[in-house]
Structure 1
Amino acid sequence: MNVTYVIVSEKINDSFELKTLAIWGKGKIRDNIKYNFLNLPCGTVINEEKLCCYPQKIQEIFPDKTILQNMKAESYLGMPLLDEHHQVIGVLCVVNNKILANPENTIAMMKVFATRATSELLRQRAEIARRHTYDELESRVKEATEELRLRTAELVKANTVLEREIQEKIVA
């Protein structure tokens, strides 16, 4: 894929923000960013829940967007990343500073990469959920262990008192 930028972004809960997970731009990995997707091509991908292709004049279609101007964007192709419930969890997009001459080839490659990106994003989310569950269970075990320690101490104390009383009655 001979494009200026390739960006994988994750939708932040129910907000209008995306955070990038990876940006390949102008031949190198770029710093990740967080941005509002309203009135951007990514917003169209998210709202329509389908691939959006703007093979040229993207800045004319979205004229007020500094991010597109800074990227010197001419064309855009974006694909939603969908979870198992067909909800958009992210966007995979390419931004080019030239006209997208053959979008069909780019779309075919994007479908492969989108599948992989979705799988990885879902795996990361599952790992976060697993860690959260593990931490919660570990906390519960610690609480139960402490409660058991306290109850055991109470039983030992009660047993000691009862043992003395029995010894006193035997001696008497």
Structure 2
Amino acid sequence: MTPQHPMAFVLLFALVAALLAGLAWSTSLRARRQRAASEERLAQLERRLAEQRAAASRAEASRAAAEAELRASEERCAAALRGSQDGMWDWDIGSGCVELSPRWKSMLGFEAHELADDLAGWRSRVHPDDRPAFERSLAQATAAHAAPDDARFEHEMRMLHKDGSVRWVLSRGVALRRAGAPPYRMVGQDTDVTPIRRVLDVLQAVADGTAGAVGEAFFPAMVRHFARALGLDCVFVAECADQPATRVRTLAYWAEGSLRDNFEFALAGTPCEAVVQGGSACFHRSGLARMFPREVGWEAYLGMPIVASDGRTLGHLAFFHRTPLGDEMLVDSVYRIFLARAAAELERIQALARRPTGASPAGAPAA
């Protein structure tokens, strides 16, 4: 072997070592890069996972809020139905079964188990005189070839309460049908409109009774027809006897079934004081004599001011009753038109009384 051979071996070894070192460095670099890329992908996956978890949490919170709102809505709806005057019904036309809601039955004074859920039980509560028209309306709405508008049922009728009284009910429903087929079902609701009917009856009765009355003749007609229409024990209309008002005198006074002599009285200690001096309506449904000892024997009171065109209180209309009164007495539409008429008549009478001749209306009440 030549002397140069060891040197060549050394050089060869160094070259191999360098190559191996370079390969190791390159491998390490690739490994670092791969590790960095893996870490970046892992970080991305973790971010995505965190985002998905946050989205899932938001979705769960939204779902919980939606469920809570749904429960609240259902509770509000149930409360509204419980407090409503409407009674729901559902008629399966094929079987004849009629599902009457507990509210429908209670509207007529029945417990849920006391009235059968069938067509006979439903129709039996309709007043006999109103039953034929009710049957015709139902037949029209459920006719096989009824037009869409005719498939809607709306009928006002009298229904029989468990206690024997009569209630006015507005019944509305719609017939359900499949394309080209006769109706198979009708659903609807009934509303007790008795207070509304009573208001209309009172308005009609008082309007008819006072239609031909003018001047001071209007006031006796008004109190008489209000007393009769509302079934009241005492009704009077009065004008202020002084200003500022401390006393009033009646223009017409109805008590215990007939017109009585007019009288004058002091407002102090009476429920009329707040009406005349305050210029606003006052209602005591019961316990009147406990609040106003002067009114012994009377249980309920409703007073309403008679207001002139210029805003002055001219007097008032007062109702007294020996037993409690219900809130239906507060329907002011019953009184508004007649109070305006009373104000006009009273202003006219007072204007005539102020004429220079000093003439006063015939039949004017005594002080």
Could you state the TM-score of these two structures normalised by the residue count of structure 1?
0.69
Alpha-carbon displacement from aligned partner over 1:32-87 (angstroms, at most 9, x marks no partner): 00100112111010121101111111111112x1xx22xx2110000011112211
Does 2:344 match 1:119? yes
Partner amino acid, structure 2, of 1:127 = L
Alpha-carbon displacement from aligned partner over 1:114-149 (angstroms, at most 9, x marks no partner): 1221111111111112xx22x28xxxxxxxxxxxxx
Identity between Structure 1 and Structure 2 (%) = 26
Partner amino acid, structure 2, of 1:126 = A
After TM superposition, what 4+ stretches of structure 1 lie above 4 angstroms from structure 2? none
1:77 matched residue in structure 2: 302
1:31 matched residue in structure 2: 261
In structure 1, C-alpha distance between the alignment counterparts of 2:338 and 2:286, rounded to whole Å: 22
Q: CA RMSD in A?
A: 1.5
1:52 matched residue in structure 2: 282
Q: Quote the offset at 1:108 in angstroms.
A: 3.1
Q: Quote the offset at 1:30 in angstroms.
A: 0.6
Does 2:40 match 1:40? no
Alpha-carbon displacement from aligned partner over 1:10-29 (angstroms, at most 9, x marks no partner): 10121511000100111100
2:334 to 99, 109, 115: 109
1:19 to 237, 249, 253: 249
Q: Quote the offset at 1:6 in angstroms.
A: 0.8
Larger radius of gyration: 2
What SS is found at the alignment partner of 2:319? strand
Q: Quote the offset at 1:93 in angstroms.
A: 0.8
Partner amino acid, structure 1, of 2:252 = A
Aligned length: 127
What SS is found at the alignment partner of 1:60? helix
In structure 1, C-alpha distance between the alignment counterparts of 2:335 and 2:232, rounded to whole Å: 12
- What are structure 1's unaligned runs of at least 5 residues? 137-172
Does 2:235 match 1:6? yes
What SS is found at the alignment partner of 2:304? strand
- What are structure 2's unaligned runs of at least 5 residues? 1-229, 359-367
Does 2:287 match 1:99? no
What SS is found at the alignment partner of 2:235? strand
In structure 2, C-alpha distance between the alignment counterparts of 1:104 and 1:62, rounded to whole Å: 21
In structure 1, C-alpha distance between the alignment counterparts of 2:333 and 2:301, rounded to whole Å: 15
Could you state the TM-score of these two structures normalised by the residue count of structure 2?
0.33
What SS is found at the alignment partner of 1:94? strand
